[in-house]
Amino acid sequence: MASVSMNALDGGRTTIASERLESLRAGLRGRLCLPGDPGYDEARAIWNGMIDRRPAVIVRAEVADDVVAAVNFARDNGLQLAVKGGGHNIAGNAVCDGGLMLDLSPMKAIQVDAAARTARVAPGVTLGELDQATQAHGLALPVGINSTTGVAGLTLGGGFGWLSRKLGLTIDNPSAVEIVTADGKKRHASEQDDPDLFWAVRGGGGNLGVVTSFQYRLHPVGPEVFAGLIVHPFDQARTLLQGYREVAAKAPEDLTVWVVLRQAPPLPFLPTEWHGREVVVLAFCYIGGVAKGEAAIAPLRALGKPVAEHLGPMPLVGWQTAFDPLLAPGARNYWKSHDFKDLNDGAIGAVVDAVGRLPGPECEVFIGHLGGAINRVPVAATAYPHRDIQFVMNVHTRWREASQDAPCIAWARGLFDATTPFATGGVYVNFMPEDERGRVQAGAYGPNFARLAALKSKYDPRNLFRLNQNVAPA
């Protein structure tokens, strides 16, 4: 192996002698990949097709000691360090050009203790893999809505989906983490041990260290839920969204209803004349028992005149993959997101206006339904601070050709600007694109930023973990 020129933490370049790399390689259970090696391209590929970066060295970790080795190597040699879990983050910080990439995706262990209702989960596990393992025991963790998202990145930023109104955010459910901090130490953090660190990792993203294991509390759910899609014509969008806001406000915590506005994909239950036309989709999941599902969604079904619906009892693991075909990896993507306490007519008008001018067939607006158990947690209890919002809007701009970058990004920014007066100013850190670093302090962390920055100084004073929505040391 030859020596390798790499990007340094301070922004310059540094040469790493071949003996050092050989010694790193020799100490790993997992693999060290250089450009051209088998596994290199697989490891550096992430969900957002706009990000195409080439690390100088990739460590494909298999055990916590590999993580320690990579963190020590990056720190001792002053190298840029990127950390990849499931590779879904829109900002693309999981991969870097010319630095050291620590790929956790080979770490796949899941241990479910059905009697204790807990799971110990390694950081390369995806949501679908976790759902399969927990639902085998009729248990579940509240996570996101796409089965290929990584548990690690989702948890560290917050994590919400169909179960969160009843069971809280993903970060409201871990009881402990094992984490490797910038000094290379393996630490156990929980409410009892290192409670400050445990507070900070619950929302603080990858700023504090590399989590090598999550211990979660699980809940009995399903295995069947009452879920489905109700599809409406777009010309009813304004009144539908007004009706939706009333239904959402009165919904029991067992019921979660998201709205998707986009051109209709060729869903098998949708008459073909609707394929490709703008629609409003009410997507819902009721977890209070399938026998009660029909009654629970009656107010939702009373809205407007749908063109088609597909709903009923179905396995939770199946519903958790319902959106996968629309969210497959590889496309070019750009997101903008706002939090809302309510959806007033101004916000609804801006969304309807923008969806009337979609820049492409895969572009969409998601409105996620929060509240419930999420909002019963005090703001200061975790680094994630947004405990008073009811809705999250995520503008999912998605397209295939680089020539479409400018119009698609401009459309997303236009809708973001038009809805800004009605939003809280807060933002979910996991929905922030790369160009939103200016929103980290006030938007992502707000009242919790100062404590997070102080803990960053304590655990990572040199900001080794900076390729993330970065909280600089205080």
Ligand X SMILES: Cc1cc2nc3c(=O)[nH]c(=O)nc-3n(C[C@H](O)[C@H](O)[C@H](O)COP(=O)(O)OP(=O)(O)OC[C@H]3O[C@@H](n4cnc5c(N)ncnc54)[C@H](O)[C@@H]3O)c2cc1C
Tell the smallest beta-carbon distance from residue 345 to ligand X (Å): 27
**Member of 156, 248, 355, 395 binding ligand X (CB under 6 A):** 156
**Member of 30, 55, 85, 174 binding ligand X (CB under 6 A):** 85
**Member of 40, 160, 234, 244 binding ligand X (CB under 6 A):** 160
**Member of 134, 213, 215, 430 binding ligand X (CB under 6 A):** 430
Q: Which residue's CB is nearer to ligand X, number 21 or number 370?
A: 370
Tell the smallest beta-carbon distance from residue 63 to ligand X (Å): 13
Q: Which parts of 226-265 interact with ligand X (CB under 6 A)?
A: none
The CA-based dihedral angle spanning residues 184, 185, 186, 188, taken in that order and rounded to the nearest 10 degrees: -140
**Member of 30, 55, 99, 144 binding ligand X (CB under 6 A):** 144
Tell the smallest beta-carbon distance from residue 210 to ligand X (Å): 4
**Member of 153, 203, 306, 443 binding ligand X (CB under 6 A):** 153
Q: Does 55 bind ligand X (CB under 6 A)?
A: no
Asked if residues 473 and 456 have their Cβ atoms less than 8 Å apart, the reply is: yes
Nearest CA to 430 among 386, 398, 399?
A: 386
Nearest CA to 364 among 411, 403, 317, 401?
A: 411
Judged by CB under 6 A, the stretch of 6-14, 29-37, 88-96, 228-236 that binds ligand X is: 88-96
Tell me whether the omega of the peptide bond preceding residue 223 falls within 30 degrees of 0, making it cis. yes
Q: Does 385 bind ligand X (CB under 6 A)?
A: no
Q: Does 147 bind ligand X (CB under 6 A)?
A: no
Q: Which residues contact 312 (CB under 8 A, 6 or more apart)?
A: 226, 228, 293
Tell the smallest beta-carbon distance from residue 96 to ligand X (Å): 10
Judged by CB under 6 A, the stretch of 80-88, 109-117, 188-196, 404-412 that binds ligand X is: 80-88
Q: Which residue's CB is nearer to ligand X, number 306 or number 362?
A: 362
Tell the smallest beta-carbon distance from residue 2 to ligand X (Å): 29
Q: Which residue's CB is nearer to ligand X, number 154 or number 240?
A: 154
Tell the smallest beta-carbon distance from residue 246 to ligand X (Å): 24
Question: How many residues sit close enough to ligand X to count as binding (CB under 6 A)?
Answer: 34
Tell the smallest beta-carbon distance from residue 421 to ligand X (Å): 25
**Interface characters, 7-46, with ligand X (x: CB under 6 A):** ----------------------------------------
- With left for phi above 0 and alpha for psi between -120 and 50, is residue 174 left, alpha or beta? beta
The CA-based dihedral angle spanning residues 413, 419, 424, 428, taken in that order and rounded to the nearest 10 degrees: -40
Q: Which parts of 320-349 interact with ligand X (CB under 6 A)?
A: 327
- 305 class by beta-carbon count within 10 Å (0-12 exposed, 13-18 middle, 19+ buried): exposed
Question: CA dist 55 to 8, 86, 413, 433, Å?
Answer: 12, 17, 30, 20
Q: Does 87 bind ligand X (CB under 6 A)?
A: yes
Residue with tokens 């079904």: 301
Asked if residues 178 and 213 have their Cβ atoms less than 8 Å apart, the reply is: yes
Give the distance, in angstroms, between the CA of residue 364 and the centroid of all CA atoms in the same chain: 17
Q: Does 433 bind ligand X (CB under 6 A)?
A: no
Tell the smallest beta-carbon distance from residue 77 to ligand X (Å): 20
Residue nearest to ligand X (CB): 153
Q: Which parts of 103-132 interact with ligand X (CB under 6 A)?
A: 104, 123
Q: Can you give the binding site for ligand X, defined by CB under 6 A?
A: 47, 83-90, 93-94, 104, 123, 144-146, 149-150, 152-154, 156-161, 205-206, 210-211, 327, 430, 468
